[in-house]
Chain A
């Protein structure tokens, strides 16, 4: 990690630093992945445009900070409902017609959405890297023998809180039960009087709200640029496939695994090569356990 390198190895406990870094990073990945897996689990659509909403979240944080000096932490309160709305609109305009369509149609609809959003950002805000530096990005927090910046720690806390809230929502509320029922068997759910279209709309909006919030949270940590979403979303696919597409608890464990691979890999081999590790991990999982480490065998060949 950057902060670790700056402080020098003498001041920190390497093993603890790596461990805490994994957890901090993993929590953010989890928030990105949980939306992706939720959308897949319930709508059976792999959202190839997921990363672009993350990118939009990063830009939202950047511009509100630069133009009105609003701290990204406060922006979160605006971002969640805003991205929920964006999700609703996107569903109505783009996704509604393809929920029941073939794989090809679903893949290329979301790919098309991704191209359009990326280049919208390019036209509006150019391809330059935008970085915002609120005070908390340079405030150091020491936990045991480790050191992190405050932005990272807060991103972790908020990600965990949001992910847990989503879990609780899915488990204990009526709407959550309805969503799970739709995921299990859409037809039976319709027969029970569930309006599946409404469920899908709501699901998509929640997934986008999660990833939008994640975008705001990572804005102080990573630069925003039109294709910023791509790296994150590739990583989120790795997480989600590791955990089994559609499996929310699996997504959490997958996030920790990917974050661990990234943190340990960059510590030993340098940050330049870290992606190779998780892509190789990804390909290996797709080859040998395509339903995910914890998923049921054969799920990948079902209509997905």
Chain B
């Protein structure tokens, strides 16, 4: 029990604060930021499952995000169905798509895999923006707001708890991946696929499993995001930039760690919100300034602290422990 506490105290603090915040804070802007932090964290955690734990670095994860977003938006607007049902449909489609892309690009490693995932998300982008009859094309779909839990028309406080529930679930899923038999095998595949295969680990099946799981997890957040923001358009939900954003959060927080995606999301979302508030109104072009910063941060982080914030924290803790002994 004590070791559990020692291992997960940071997550307990973060999620605990998120539980308490809505009880004391009623500021809509603040609560909105909190929801975004949690949703981005969950998205990055989903990306982390394929890329951090299984080592299949994807730059096309927006594909699954978009599938989830579109599934719910289309079901809600065309057939008046609940977004929860849309979420299930999105998950089903994403499971199929994830299994397909995972199976087909099984042999590909490193940059080849990244390229094939980009191509996949671009195909979906073109489909969604050109198939006007079905998806409403590049104008996008406004998602109607109908109050109630069943229709996901919630207030800010309720949204915090929905997003938080999902974030905690994804955190636990990652912890499971770290500590279970399947997780150790995935780590083996990630570190040295040939050696893992030689030990009899079914590396191909494991990689497909990780990508499929990661796709479904991404899709769920896609649905929630569409309902929260209230608008789905193909250029955003299928963009390469979005995929990069999942990666950015995770890399800065620490790839292949359960806490990393959430740490990265807290940092990046906060900085973005702050800079947006500061520069909006000055000149529209300044919107790009924080993105220039992202690019530079990404270059510096992968070069000098590739293990991310979580890794740095672990290193400091180890040093402190040595000093004690």
Contacts and interface: CB of A to CB of B under 8 A. Distances in A.
A binds B: yes
Interface of A: 46, 94, 97-98, 101, 103-109, 111-120, 122-124, 126, 226, 230, 234, 237-238, 241, 245, 272-273, 275-276, 279-280, 282-283, 286-287, 290, 300-301, 303-304
Contact of B302 (A46, A108, A275): A108
The secondary structure that dominates the A interface is helix
Given A103-B109, A290-B108, A301-B107, A46 B299 contact: no
Nearest to B51: A104
A279 B298 CA distance: 28
Contacts of A46: 111, 114-115
B299 A304 contact: no
24 contacts: A46-B111, A46-B114, A98-B302, A103-B57, A107-B57, A107-B110, A108-B247, A112-B297, A112-B299, A114-B295, A115-B291, A115-B295, A118-B288, A119-B288, A120-B288, A123-B286, A123-B288, A237-B119, A276-B127, A282-B116, A287-B104, A301-B108, A303-B110, A304-B110
B123 A283 contact: yes
A273 B251 CA distance: 35
B285 A124 contact: yes
B294 interface: yes
Contacts, number: 141
Given A105-B302, A279-B119, A279-B126, 19 more contacts: A46-B115, A98-B303, A101-B303, A103-B57, A107-B110, A109-B298, A111-B59, A112-B298, A115-B298, A122-B287, A123-B285, A273-B126, A275-B122, A276-B123, A280-B123, A286-B115, A287-B104, A290-B112, A303-B110
B25 to A, nearest CB: 32
Contacts of B130: 272-273
A126 B284 contact: yes
B191 to A, nearest CB: 11
Nearest to A124: B285
Contacts of B288: 118-120, 122-123, 226
B57 A234 contact: no
Interface in B44-81: 57, 59
A275 B125 CA distance: 10
A8 B299 CA distance: 50
Interface in B80-109: 104-105, 107-109
A237 B116 CA distance: 10
Contacts of B107: 290, 300-301
B292 interface: yes
Interface residues of B, number: 44
A104 B118 CA distance: 15
A217 B287 CA distance: 30
A230 B104 CA distance: 24
Nearest to A298: B107
Contact of B110 (A103, A109, A116, A280): A103
B299 A116 contact: yes
A41 B120 CA distance: 25
Contacts of B299: 94, 108-109, 112-113, 116
The residue in B104, B114, B299 that gathers the most chain A C-beta atoms within 10 A of its C-beta is B299
B289 interface: yes
B263 interface: no
A42 to B, nearest CB: 15
Contacts of B296: 112, 116
B268 interface: no
Contacts of A234: 118-119, 122
A114 B296 CA distance: 10
B237 interface: no
A96 to B, nearest CB: 10
Contacts of A94: 299
B138 to A, nearest CB: 10
Contacts of A273: 126, 130
B113 to A, nearest CB: 9
Contact of B244 (A101, A111, A124): A111
B306 interface: yes
A111 B298 contact: yes
The residue in A97, A109, A112, A238 that gathers the most chain B C-beta atoms within 10 A of its C-beta is A112
Interface in B225-252: 240-241, 244, 247, 251
A205 B112 CA distance: 23
Question: Ordered nearest first, which 4 A-B pairs have the shortest CB separation?
Answer: A116-B295, A112-B298, A103-B110, A115-B295
